[in-house]
Amino acid sequence: MASAPSSTSGLRRPDSGPHLPDDARHLVKILVAGPFGVGKTTLIDSVSEIKPLHTEEHLTEASVAVDDLAGVRDKTTTTVAIDFGRISLGGGVVLYLFGTPGQERFRSLWAEIAYGALGALVLVDTRRLDDSFGVLGLVEETGLPYAVALNVFPDARPYTDEQLRGALDLEPGTPMVTCDARDTNSSLDALITLVQHLIERKDA
């Protein structure tokens, strides 16, 4: 688990309420994707100007996300909490980060949250590489451009980049960086790597 005490964002704005500034014209989102316990909320917390919030999303008995309320009354439903944070970037641009679990059973919820996203930062715990395969599959299926951030845990075995790229089956052009999700600057660097990758794809 991402067990270390979660640091609070160095970017927190205590006066920042839920209402949008009048000049907010471009609301963009990036998915922070990864398996349970990899540190998604920690990363969001480390850069968000608001304390990360969450919405409850309904999943039906069949573990299919419902995008409307049909059937919710009759069926046994479970909910999953989707965390999000926010960063105002100036010039009317507001970036939202959505923590998105990677399990197959969240597939339709995934598609809905991914709609319109700029890209995804896939958080990987190198002690549990297998857990990330499902997430990577979903991201690739959605067609979202992505970068991989290795959330470094103290007891992780030291793999080489080549070993990790091989194990995760990454394309040569997919950025892979290490990241301490508790650290504001480190999380910002990982996000910048992703956005730079998105820019370079446009250039190409």
Partner 1 sequence: MTPRRAGRPLVPAYLSTGGVARPSRGSLERLSVLTRTDLARTDPVRSAASAPAELSAAQHALLDALGGGSLTVVEAAVLLELPVSAIRVLADALTDQGLLRARPPVPVSDLPDYDLLKRVADGLRALKH
> What residues line the site for partner 1 (CB under 8 A)?
10-11, 17-20, 22, 24-29, 36-37, 41, 47, 52-58, 66-73, 79, 81, 83-84, 87, 89-91, 93, 95-96, 98, 101, 112-113, 115-116, 118, 184-185, 188-189, 191-192, 195-196, 198-199, 202-203
Report the residue number, 132 or 184, with the smaller CB distance to partner 1: 184
Report the residue number, 4 or 81, with the smaller CB distance to partner 1: 81
Assigned token pair, 12: 């927190």
Residue recorded with tokens 């998604």: 40
Residue 126 Cβ vs partner 1, minimum distance, rounded to whole Å = 20
Residue 158 Cβ vs partner 1, minimum distance, rounded to whole Å = 27
Assigned token pair, 7: 């640091």
Q: How far is residue 110's CA from residue 69's CA, in Å, rounded to a whole number?
A: 17
Cβ partners under 8 Å of residue 67, min gap 6: 108, 112
Residue 133 Cβ vs partner 1, minimum distance, rounded to whole Å = 19
Residue 168 Cβ vs partner 1, minimum distance, rounded to whole Å = 22
Taking the alpha carbons of 178, 88, 142, 1 in that order, is the dihedral positive or negative? positive
Which candidate, 122, 133, 125, places its Cα nearest to that of 157?
A: 125
